[in-house]
Each structure stands twice: as C-alpha cells, then as structure tokens.
Amino acid sequence: MRYPLGLVVDSAKHLIGRKLRGERKFSLVLTLDPLGAFANGAGNSNITLSVPECLAAVEECGAPVVVISGGEPLQHPEIAALTRAVLKMRKHLFLCTDGTLIRRHLHMIPPYTNFFWNVKLDGTEEAPDQRSGRAGNFEAALDGIKAAKNAGFFVVVTSTICPKTDVQGLELLYERLHAMHLDGYMLLPHYPKEKLCRDGNAKFHEKMQERFREASARLSAYNLMVSPVYLEYLRGERELDCSVWANPVFGPQGWSGPCYLQNAQYATTYKALLEETVWENYGRGLNPGCENCLCAEGFETAAVLGMNAKAGDWWKKLAWQFQGGLGEKREGRGLG
C-alpha cells in the first residue's frame, strides 16, 4: 500500500458517504495553522490557536485527515496536547516540521499508525541550510528522521518543485533517505507570489511541467505519495478544476478564504466559507492570483474527488495505491 490501509479506508468511506448524501462541497483534509504562519508568512507567537479552538475546527470540518502546519508547529506551547487530542478523535494526522526539533519532541506520543512526521526537505545539505540561514539544519533534520524511524514512527518527506529545482540532487537525497527506510515522498509545486506577465506565465508553466516530467522519470521508483491523476496535471497532460474548498486552512483569524494563498477574506465557520465564498471568481482564467497556482490543496483534492474524470481514472488510482510500498523502493516500475 502507498498509504496505510486505515487512512485509505476512512478517506474512501468519508468520500462515498458525502457523495451519497448529495453534498457538493465537503472537506477531505483540514490544515490547522496554530501559529498563524500561513496568514502572516511567519509564526506570530502573539496570535496562536488554543487546543480547544483547534479541536472545534476539526469537529466542525469533519475531514478524516488533519495536517498541522505553518511555520514550525513544534514551537507551539501545546503541540503535544494538540497532537494527542487530534489522534484521540481518530483522525489521520500529518505533523509538518523542518525536522530539527523532532528528537526533542519524539516522546510526546507513541508511534501511532495514524500519525506521520512530515519533514520539509527540498534538496541536499546546501538547500535547507540556505533557506533557514543556519548551517547544520540539514544534518539535524536527518538526525530527527533517523530517530523517528528508529522509534517506529511513519515518516514522510515533502519537497517543493520550482522551475530551477535540481531534480538530480533530489534523487540523491531520496537515495540517502531510502537507506533510513523513509515511508514516502510528497512533491509540491512552487507558487510564485510575484505577478508575471502573459509570457512569464507561459514560461513558468512550461518549466514546471518540464521539472515534473523529469521528477516522474527519476523518482518513480520511490513511494511517491502524489496521485497519478494530479501528477498528470502537473506534467501538463490533462486539466483539473481547483477544489480548494475540500482542503481548508484554519488559523487564528478564522477559515482562510478562498485559500491560504489568497487570503481575500476569513470566514468564522467552515459552513460560511463554503456558502459565502463566490467560488466562480477563482481559478485560472478567472483570477490573476490563480494563474500560476498548481497547488495540491486545490488540484490534488480535485484528483481524489474525481473532478474532470476520464475513463479509467479510478482503476488507475486503485492500482497506484496497491502498487506502493511504505519504505520500499521498487526497481523498474514507472508511473505511467
């Protein structure tokens, strides 16, 4: 299995149940931003979510998968209590971190099968250390990964692909991580915050598609946790409609609307986000802020929901799920 069976079953039951009830918009994944980093670009220690506020959002949203992200969540003063409480709600939890603080927080919970450490690594030593501005962060992250794996946890790594990404360097990183029996690898597309002209937009998408075609070729032997339908979209082989309403972000200011990349408004409830957002105003060709967005929150969820479906998509996704292997590298198998 590419993901744990429990996560696959719970997500499928949730998806099928909502569709059978005739619901057009509902959540699949909830992203909690307890430090307010998505809204402010960096964690703000003066504006944080409490554990009860986070749990109320989890309850209201109803998504089977919860992501705790934004800045460095392990710096939240109640992160251990929050993590334990979300897991008690029988949710599947991904805790995003740069990895440098894992060892310090390793004993806050036992290694549950519905908990993942999700470590952000974009390349070998030079890239993470340059991004953080501190030498040694890369090795500290690897030390955290090794400690978590030795303790029996699921650990995945997320890497951002941009037009200048050295995919060969990423492949070298994955070889090193595979020796630590890492469980999976997630690839996310870069979102340029600056506005680009029409030619700039075209060149950006061309370069991004080229990088993801290269990533598909070089990294397919690893347990890539990227839907094959979404990967086709990233390679420029098909179209998908943004479904960011299925992966909302909740932070200290409320529910980000329409998404954390836009932050055009904040809703007080998830229901208000769904009902009061004019979704028809967002998307490529509809909003300048959406022109260069390829983000998983909108398009990975669209792939899972079956938006813009083609014949054979469900079989393709099913085969992809069962061909995966947590912590395994498969020789000679491409992504198709």
Q: How far is CA 284 from the centre of its chain?
A: 21
Choose which CATH entry (3.90.1640.10, 3.30.1950.10, 3.80.30.10, 3.90.330.10) describes domain 5-323: 3.80.30.10
pLDDT in tens, 44-84: 447 899 999 999 999 999 999 999 998 899 999 999 999 99
Mean pLDDT, residues 285-301 taken together: 93
Check residue 328 and give its pLDDT: 80
86-90, 260-264, 301-305: which has the minimum mean pLDDT?
260-264
Q: Residue ranges of the domains in the chain? A: 5-323
pTM exceeds 0.85 for this model? yes
Element (H, E) at 156: strand 154-161
Check residue 335 and give its pLDDT: 38
pLDDT in tens, 194-233: 877 888 889 999 999 999 999 999 999 999 999 999 999 9
Check residue 333 and give its pLDDT: 39
- Main-chain dihedrals φ then ψ at residue 46, nearest 5 degrees: -85, -15
The alpha carbon torsion through 265, 270, 271, 274 (nearest 10 deg) reads 50
- The answer to whether the CB of 30 falls within 8 A of the CB of 58 is yes
Predicted confidence band of residue 325 (pLDDT cuts 50, 70, 90):
confident
